[in-house]
Amino acid sequence: MPTRDEQLTERFGLPSFYPWQREAIDALLDDHRRVLVVAPTGGGKSLCYQFPATVLRGTSVVISPLIALMDDQVRSLNDRGIEATYLASTLDFDELRRREERLAAGHYCLVYIAPERLRKASLVSLLARLRPPFVAIDEAHCISQWGHDFRPDYLRIGEALEALGPTRVLACTATATPAVRHEILERLAMPVATTTVVLRGFARPNLHLEVEENDSMATRRGHAIRAVAQALGDPNSPGGAAIIYAGTRRNTETTAAALREKGWRCRPYHAGLDPALREEVSAAFADRSLDVVVATNAFGMGIDRPDIRCVVHIQAPGSIEQYYQEVGRAGRDGQPAHGLLISGSSDFGFRRRLLELSHTGEQGSVDPVHAKHQWNMFLDLMRYVEAGSCRHDFILRYFGDERETLGGCGHCDVCEELDGRDDGRRSDDLSEEDAIVVQKALAGVARLRGRAGLAALAASLHGADTERMRQLGLTRLSTHGLMSDRPQRWIMALLRRLMTAALVDLTAGDYPVPFLTAEGRATMMGELSPRIIVPPERVGRARPKRPARRKQAPSGLDKPRDGDLFEQLRAARRQAAEERGVPAYVVCHDRTLVEIATARPTSLAELELVHGMGPARIDAYGDLLLAVVRAVVEPAPP
Ligand code: ADP
Ligand code: ZN
């Protein structure tokens, strides 16, 4: 009996399994386990079902939504003499029937099924009669209503599994946060206790990650073009390819035109184009007659040019999953590649409008809980933009891939800034002043003991002294006013960075309050030096033109102003409540108003960070509350 490695070489022409493939395959074959594999696209997941299917007796089933990929895989399996086929609605009736007949006769060792086929009860019972030894679900995150790629047909899989009763089940996905992983296991009835989770390979050390904050679309476009030129060189003899992702169809066209003007072989791609035209662009990109594509997120599934040297986003995508998937198309050949994300505060409004459109779009109304979830995923992405700690570690942590975090990768923009300091300090040390500021903020978190949220903590560290702050007991904290030399918005930005660097975490529930992680505690005690960049000084300066005036004003001046603002917010709330005929607390709680008055948010995104301001309240009252804040913070010139 040949060993698995021998079988691998003989059937697939590969020298050996990756260690995580072996872990997954052994768990499936030897222990009849349920296995969930989470690994990036192109990582080698398909071997985890192709290999077991070829060594097991009987017909194994793979459920996959990517028909083009199925076709491709079936062809290369057939080339190796492995009996495989696929069933999808793209096939004509006769062909489908022919394949189903051979399937019923037990002819195949592997059959790929598109999820919409499961709507046919006759197919499900045909499969059930075959008693498949093994069922794999590819792109398993499509089952998650929280994911970015939900497909309702995936909800049929749970039932189908029950009917098929395989002894082995494998779910594969490239993108799954802990919450999505949990949902996959639940919907596929894979018990947490007896399911092997193999989580591997999110680190992409050849990918240089960079973020730039910029609000002008024209500048973003210019910088994107510059990044393409840096990565590919001369447009007449480019070294590789690039993709630029934009949020709107129009933006793809404008940007593509600008690139063509610079001599690049470039075309736009979006869902509004004629399918034939889209096909043409994909084919041209694949056969290298096109070097740059400017696309919406409609472009990507199944792109496998290994020599993509650069992926630029000129507008923020919808989530970290989406970003990681898109930027991950760069550098598949393992050679250096660049991922640049250009974003700015205007992206908040843009994304909100997109979400609102999808609420009222053709697909009917979207569940508000779902909408809130999508908004939260976007906020996670914006935390990535704002993060002052290693970009790679941020993403790895986000996916729960703690084992692979690099403790500072050395090749993202943040690490480069940290490492580039050549003033004699150890490379990963903050300046003494910055380190003390971080310790002060951490001490503030420690003293808070669950009394209030982030915004109130920032206000307290800044030294805000209002009736409400007193009621919350925040003015009595020993850390009250400890950072009075910093603007409150700057403190807030610092606290967010401490969160993204995993020094501070938030409790779960409706009223999340910050607490120190073990690492945060050690940092506060000076046992660890924090590897983060503190926010730039400009953050929170009311008006760049007259920063001195604000600084020189005695801090007591803030007090009546905060009080005023609170009263004005209350008045606005009263009016809104009367207009809608609801009690005032339905609009929002006093506590929320206090935090708004102290945090003084200037955008909906900042408002969202205040306790009790969920998307529904933001939608209903966000603009009203912001207008009140703006009127006080930036009084109209006389
Ligand atoms: P995924 O399904 O995770 O997107 P694929 O299964 O398509 O990725 O694999 C991507 C590439 O990696 C393929 O070209 C495949 O041949 C290669 N590959 C997979 N496993 C191995 C291995 N053990 N050794 C070498 N190459 C591998
Ligand atoms: Zn880094």
Q: What is the pLDDT of residues 413-423, one digit of tens each?
A: 988 887 775 44
Ligand 1 centroid–CA 9 distance in Å is 13
Ligand 2 centroid–CA 402 distance in Å is 14
**What confidence score (pLDDT) does residue 362 get?**
45
Which has the closest alpha carbon to 445: 436, 454, 437? 454
Pick the range with the lowest mean pLDDT from 9-23, 461-475, 495-509.
Answer: 495-509
Work out the average pLDDT over 561-574: 78
Report yes or no on 239 lying in a domain: yes
Q: Are residues 167 and 39 in the same domain?
A: yes
Ligand 1 centroid–CA 442 distance in Å is 44
Q: Provide the whole-model pTM.
A: 0.61
Pick the range with the lowest mean pLDDT from 149-158, 189-198, 244-253, 364-373.
Answer: 364-373
Q: For residues 287 and 370, what is the distance between their CA atoms, to the nearest angstrom?
A: 39
Q: Are residues 395 and 460 in the same domain?
A: no
Pick from 47, 75, 110, 139 the residue to mutate for probing ligand 1's pocket: most ligand atoms within 8 Å of its CB: 47
Q: Quick one: pLDDT band at residue 201, thresholds 50, 70, 90?
A: low
Q: Which atom of ligand 1 is nearest to 15's Cα? A: 24
Work out the average pLDDT over 594-623: 79
Q: Are residues 470 and 450 in the same domain?
A: yes
The CB-side HSE value for 303 (13 A sphere, CA atoms) comes to: 33
For the stretch 573-605, pLDDT in tens is 888 887 776 767 778 877 788 778 877 888 887
Residue 110 vs residue 400, higher pLDDT: 110
Nearest CA to ligand 1 atom 9: 44
Q: Are residues 340 and 392 in the same domain?
A: yes
Report yes or no on 310 lying in a domain: yes
Task: Identify the burial level of 386 via C-beta atoms within 10 angstroms of its C-beta, where 0-12 means exposed, 13-18 middle and 19 or more buried.
Answer: middle
Q: Are residues 576 and 519 in the same domain?
A: no
Q: For residues 337 and 368, what is the distance between their CA atoms, to the nearest angstrom?
A: 39
Q: Are residues 267 and 362 in the same domain?
A: yes
Place of tokens 């199925």: 70
Pick the range with the lowest mean pLDDT from 108-117, 334-343, 402-411.
Answer: 402-411
Q: Which residues contact 565 (CB under 8 A, 6 or more apart)?
A: 596, 597, 600, 628, 629, 632
Q: Which atom of ligand 1 is nearest to 18's Cα? A: 23
Q: Quick one: pLDDT band at residue 624, thresholds 50, 70, 90?
A: confident
Average pLDDT, the chain: 85
Q: Are residues 374 and 493 in the same domain?
A: no
Q: Are residues 214 and 76 in the same domain?
A: no
Q: Quick one: pLDDT band at residue 553, thresholds 50, 70, 90?
A: very low
Instruction: Reply yes or no on whether the pLDDT at 168 is more than 50.
Output: yes
Where does ligand 1 bind, in terms of residues with CB under 6 Å? 14, 17-18, 21, 39, 41-47
Q: Which atom of ligand 1 is nearest to 21's Cα? A: 23
Q: Are residues 182 and 328 in the same domain?
A: no
Ligand 2 centroid–CA 405 distance in Å is 10
Work out the average pLDDT over 122-151: 91
Ligand 2 centroid–CA 389 distance in Å is 7
**What confidence score (pLDDT) does residue 22 get?**
92
Ligand 1 centroid–CA 45 distance in Å is 7
**What confidence score (pLDDT) does residue 398 get?**
83
Report yes or no on 600 lying in a domain: yes
Residue-range definition of the domain harbouring residue 459 = 432-524
Q: What is the CATH number of the domain that holds 488?
A: 1.10.10.10
Ligand nearest to the CA of 531: 2
Ligand 2 centroid–CA 321 distance in Å is 18
Pick from 5, 22, 46, 80 the residue to mutate for probing ligand 1's pocket: most ligand atoms within 8 Å of its CB: 46
Ligand nearest to the CA of 42: 1
Q: Quick one: pLDDT band at residue 430, thresholds 50, 70, 90?
A: low
Nearest CA to ligand 1 atom 21: 44
For the stretch 493-526, pLDDT in tens is 899 888 878 898 877 666 778 899 999 999 999 8
Residue 468 vs residue 509, higher pLDDT: 468
The number of distinct structural domains making up the chain is 4
Report yes or no on 549 lying in a domain: no
- 316's torsion region: left (phi>0), alpha (psi -120 to 50) or beta? beta
Q: Quick one: pLDDT band at residue 387, thresholds 50, 70, 90?
A: confident
Q: Are residues 374 and 505 in the same domain?
A: no
Angle, vertex CA 235, rays to CA 232 and CA 237, nearest 5: 80
Report yes or no on 302 lying in a domain: yes
Q: Are residues 473 and 582 in the same domain?
A: no
**What confidence score (pLDDT) does residue 541 get?**
67
Q: Which atom of ligand 1 is nearest to 43's Cα? A: 3
Nearest CA to ligand 1 atom 16: 44
Work out the average pLDDT over 629-637: 67
Give the CA distances from residue 261 to residues 47, 266, 280, 421, in Å, rounded to whole numbers and listed in that order.
Answer: 44, 10, 21, 39
**What confidence score (pLDDT) does residue 425 get?**
44
